[in-house]
């Protein structure tokens, strides 16, 4: 059983991936797997050179793309009777959805999302600047509503981590 856990920046994907692994589940923070994701220019579709999460203009000109064929190979390699969690987000998310048996959307309220984004202090981290944080909040609700229409299961990730994990593990299809 392959489970995708996704959501916008600051919803808790990486934290959930880490906790599931600590609990003994097969769990991947897929955005941290070398070679699985890349930043591409929206117009040229070529890999971006000198990308920066500092500039909203640069961010808006680019897409965070997951290589669907590499992800499929990872899923096929891990395919077994056990549950495997894949946590991450990509600009081409909708293209990736058919690879998964269950799709979960982590949704945090705006205050929680902003609080988590403000904790990002590393220059390389998406959402660490005020300008980018405000941009994320401007499209957050609309994007989440549109994504839920694709059949994802909504989990409130504003709750304490243990509650979020319990809610994920309580999904009927996983029992």
CATH number for the domain spanning 162: value is 3.40.50.300
State residue 120 phi and psi, 5-degree precision.
Answer: -80, 115
Across residues 62-83, what is the average pLDDT? 92
Of 169, 64, 67, 35, the closest CA to residue 124 belongs to 64
How distant, in Å, are the alpha carbons of 12, 53, 149, 162 from that of 143? 17, 20, 10, 26
**Mean pLDDT score of the chain, rounded to an integer?**
94
Query: And the tokens for 123?
Result: 């220059």
Query: And the tokens for 21?
Result: 């692994």
- Residue for token pair 């890349």: 38
Q: Does a structural domain hold residue 46?
A: yes
Q: Does a structural domain hold residue 175?
A: no
For 109, the 3-state DSSP assignment is coil
CA 171 – CA 94 distance, rounded (Å)? 21
> 67 lies in which domain range?
2-167
Question: How many distinct structural domains can be found in the chain?
Answer: 1
Residue 113 contacts residue 138 (beta carbons within 8 Å): no
Q: pLDDT value at position 116?
A: 95
Q: pLDDT value at position 52?
A: 84
Q: pLDDT value at position 108?
A: 98
Q: Does a structural domain hold residue 9?
A: yes
């Amino acid at each position: 059983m392959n489970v995708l856990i996704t959501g916008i920046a600051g919803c808790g994907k990486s934290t959930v991936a880490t906790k599931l692994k600590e609990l003994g589940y097969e769990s991947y923070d897929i955005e941290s797997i070398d070679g699985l994701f890349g930043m591409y220019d929206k117009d040229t579709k070529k890999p971006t050179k000198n990308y920066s999460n500092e500039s909203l203009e640069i961010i808006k000109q680019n897409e965070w793309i997951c290589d669907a064929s590499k992800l499929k190979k990872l899923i096929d390699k891990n395919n077994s009777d056990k549950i495997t969690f894949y946590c991450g987000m990509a600009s081409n998310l909708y293209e990736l959805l058919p690879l998964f048996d269950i799709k979960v959307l982590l949704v945090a309220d705006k205050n929680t999302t902003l609080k988590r984004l403000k904790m990002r202090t590393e220059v390389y981290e998406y959402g660490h600047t005020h300008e980018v944080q405000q941009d994320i909040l401007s499209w957050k609700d609309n994007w989440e509503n549109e994504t839920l229409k694709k059949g994802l299961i909504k989990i409130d990730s504003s709750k304490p981590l243990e509650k979020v994990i319990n809610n994920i593990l309580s999904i009927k299809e996983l029992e």
